[in-house]
Structure formats: structure tokens, C-alpha cells
Amino acid sequence: MTDLNATHDPDLKSWIETANDPACDFPIQNLPFGVFSTPADPAPRPGVAIGDQILDLAVMETAELLPTPDAVFRQPTLNAFMALGPAVWSKTRAALSELLAAGASVLGDDVDLKSRALTPLGEAQMHLPFLVTEFTDFYASKEHATNVGRMFRDPDNALMPNWLHIPIGYNGRASSVVVSGTDIHRPRGQLKGPDDAEPRFGASEKLDIELEMGAVVGMGNALGTPLSTGQANAMIFGFVLLNDWSARDIQVWEYQPLGPFQAKAFATTISPWVVTQEALAPFRVDGPTQNPAPLAYLRQDGPHNFDINLSIALQPDSHDAKTDLSRTNFKYMYWSSAQQLTHHASSGCAMRTGDLLGSGTISGPTPGQLGCLLEMSKNGSTPIDLTGGGTRTFIEDGDTLTLGGWCQGDGFRVGFGTACGKILPAVSEF
């Protein structure tokens, strides 16, 4: 576990005044990492969000103000930095905190360096923050699994017999992971209704979202080497918001016997900022009691969940009013990210820098805390009223879905920004 240190001080302020706004997602206690470019310099490079600015880490590295090897931040992804491990991550965070703290003179008083190192967030184009080497999606919310099991299996035996013993997951498509703001075409696939004699090929009519968090693997393990939950936790660099778009009608026809395939392969949206585990340390909490107790290799000491508030909003093309669909929390997850990573490597699977683990849909215990439209609309049987008029059961063309996430501190918030995507019509020709 990460110990609290000076970078977590709730009274710490920055000389960048916008970072001191209690409603700002990016105070000095956060310092999330991303990759950006500008019209003046179109080469993608790593940066850190602070207030309404991005601190260019390539500039800071050239100025020899960071404790990292040469050229780590003069690359288009964070992978080289993440591969350096927790000690370097922590030293770099401490150095950045000192440079950005109120009263710091090395950067704060250097007009020329500041002009080269700072870019307004509104002038930057954000890119995928890391090269996604593999993507694995889990099914780790007990509330979500129970709700879905009641709809499609047996209401009295909603969970499969293995669910309480093992973090259930499947291998997804790293090639389909995109950064927030990327438009998504409605997928096409094989569809077969319960009364249809044969399947047909067409555009999904039950397009859905899945509100998830993504754990970003910073360090890997050698092939054949299992992990303890403590080792797995130390390997996680940080977290992103994650929307694993899902075509429910394609999924229901294809998922037996081997699980989701094309219904989940077309797009997964992540937020552009990776909030580090160290930034989240003050917000660690115990997860739900696991009963029965997991097998020895999955047992964990101390709090392994995080108190992260999460939200879903829908914006149709037809009017300006957004509808807040859900407010939930990452703390409800039954299987923690450390347990998911531990189980992933338990067979000897080699994990790599840049692997992305989706938590699975995050639903809470009340109706206002559901993480997907499948649950909210009861598979389309209960329409959802929109704020500006109209209803939805599933996503329509032109709809923009936005995920938000933040941890609430004492006078500050550690935010993730947003993960959003707009649905465009299906591509009709090959």
C-alpha cells in the first residue's frame, strides 16, 4: 500500500490559481498523467494536468528538473515511464509537487520556462495516454451480475456457481480502445430475436454503455510467475474511466458457449488522464465482505477498494438538456483490481506494461446507482425519461454518453475528467 506523504497534504496549494478551486478535477494533490499535442507542436508527448493547464513533461525533462532517465518523456506514450516502477513514479510525483507548489521559485518564477512548459487544457488535443498492449474485461460487481442474472438466468439463482470464488473475465480487443472524444459507429453483427427462425445481419438495436474503471498495469511479471495480491497492487500504475460499449442484441446471440466477442470488440472508450494509485491513496476503503472467503492466493490485507464517485450522463442530438442517468461508486466492487490482476497471472500469464483491466460494469445497491442501460431499462421493458423530453431504452444515433469520476477530499477533489463518446450511424457498406 502507498503511505501518505507530503503530496497528499489537503492544505497544499499551487501557484497555478485554478488548481486551488475546490471544484477543480486537477488540484496539486492529483497530478494525473496524459499525452497531448498542440497545433504549434503536433508531436504527442506526456504531460500532467494541473488546474486548467498541462505541464509539458518533455520540457521539464529537457530542463533536467525530473528524476527520470533521459528521453523517458520525449515519447508519444507513457509506457516507458510506467515501466520504471513504483519508486520512480513516486519520486517523479514528489518532484512535480514541489515544482508546482505555491512559493516554488524554480518553475514559478521562471517566465521563459513557464511559457514553454504550460499549455491551457482548452488548446490541447488529447491522445491515448499509453499504448494498450492487452485489454481484459472483468465482471466483478455483485450487484450488476445479480441484476443481469435475474433477467437472463434464474431470479432465484442469479449468480453462476463460480462467481463468488473467482474474478470472471474475458480477453477483449486492445486495438479498439480509444480516447475520450472519439466518435463511435453503431456496430453491425448477427442478430436473432427469440421468435426468429434464423439470424440476420444488421445494425445493433440495443446499443449500451458499461460504466467501468480501468486499472493500468505499469510493470509486468515474467511468464510462469504468479503474483500475490500485494505484488499485483504494486504493479498498478493508476486508473482511468472506462466505457466498454456493448451491443446487447449481438451479445445475447453469440455469447454462449465462450462469452462476448463482436458485441464488445468494436469500441472501448477511456479517459485521457491516468490518475495514479499514489494520488488515490487517501481514498482507499474496504470493499464488500467476501463470503465465502476467497482461496488463499486471492486474499488481501488492508483496504483495496477506492471511494471514487462515478456518474453517467446522456446528451441527445435533439436538444441541449443532459440527463443524469446514474450516480454510483467504485467502492462497491466485490473483486478488487488487485485480485483481478492476481487471478489473471495465477496460471503463469505474463502481464505487460500497458495492459488494461476493465473492472466490469459498476452498479450499486439502489436503482439510481446502475451502471448500464440494460439494467436501467430492464432490457428495454421500462423506458427512461430524458430531461428535455423523450425516452430511451438503449442508445440512439446522435447520443453522446459521458462518464465522470472524482474522489472528494477536504477542500479539494481528485478527478478523472470525463470519458465521452458520440454514437454515429452504422457503416452500411463494406
Cell of 269: 472508450
3-class DSSP state of 240: strand
The span from the CA of 22 to the CA of 32, in Å, is: 17
CATH code for residues 14-127: 2.30.30.230
The span from the CA of 385 to the CA of 392, in Å, is: 7
Query: How many C-beta neighbours within 10 Å does residue 207 have?
Result: 26
The span from the CA of 321 to the CA of 283, in Å, is: 32
Domain ranges of the chain: 14-127, 135-424
pLDDT at 430 (0 to 100): 62
User: Is residue 250 within 8 Å of 190, Cβ to Cβ?
Assistant: yes
pLDDT at 133 (0 to 100): 97
User: Is residue 304 within 8 Å of 228, Cβ to Cβ?
Assistant: no
The span from the CA of 97 to the CA of 7, in Å, is: 6
Residue with cell 487517501: 282
Secondary element (H or E) of residue 189: strand 188-191
pLDDT at 429 (0 to 100): 66
C-alpha distances (whole Å) from 309 to each of 151, 214, 332, 414 are 27, 14, 11, 10
Q: Rounded to the nearest 5 degrees, what angle is found at the Cα of 274, between the Cα atoms of 272 and 275?
A: 135
The span from the CA of 366 to the CA of 144, in Å, is: 11
Closest CA to 332 of 308, 356, 312, 311: 308
The span from the CA of 85 to the CA of 134, in Å, is: 19
* Chain-centre distance for alpha carbon 147: 22
Strand pairing partners for 17? none
3-class DSSP state of 257: coil
Q: Active site includes 144?
A: yes
**Matching fold, domains 14-127 and 135-424:** no
The 8-class DSSP code of residue 383 comes to P
Strands (E), 14-81: 33-37, 45-50, 53-56
Selecting among 8, 144, 304, 343, the annotated active-site residue is: 144
The span from the CA of 309 to the CA of 389, in Å, is: 27
- Neighbour-count burial for 337-373, b at 16+ CB within 10 Å, e otherwise: bbbbbbbbbbeebebebbbbbbbbbbbbeeeebbbbb
Q: Write the single-letter amino acid at 168.
A: I
Cell of 88: 520512480
Instruction: Name the CATH superfamily for 135-424.
Output: Fumarylacetoacetase-like, C-terminal domain (3.90.850.10)
3-class DSSP state of 244: coil
pTM of the model as a whole: 0.97
Where helices occur in 3-110 by DSSP H, the ranges are 57-62, 79-82, 86-100
* Contacts made by residues 103-109, CB under 8 angstroms, sequence distance 24+: 103/15, 104/15, 106/65, 107/65, 108/15
Q: Kind of pairing, strands 184-185 and 413-424?
A: parallel
| Per-residue pLDDT tens over the stretch 88-125 | 999 999 999 999 999 987 888 889 999 999 999 999 99
pLDDT at 1 (0 to 100): 64
pLDDT in tens, the chain (430 residues): 668 999 999 999 999 999 999 999 999 999 999 999 999 999 999 999 999 999 999 999 999 999 998 899 999 999 999 999 999 999 999 999 999 999 987 888 889 999 999 999 999 999 999 999 999 999 999 999 999 999 988 888 899 999 999 999 999 999 999 999 999 999 999 999 889 999 999 999 999 999 999 999 999 999 999 999 999 999 999 999 999 999 999 999 998 888 889 999 999 999 999 999 999 999 999 999 999 999 999 999 999 999 999 999 999 998 889 999 999 999 999 999 999 999 999 999 999 999 999 999 999 999 999 999 999 999 999 999 999 999 999 999 999 999 999 999 999 999 999 999 999 999 986 6
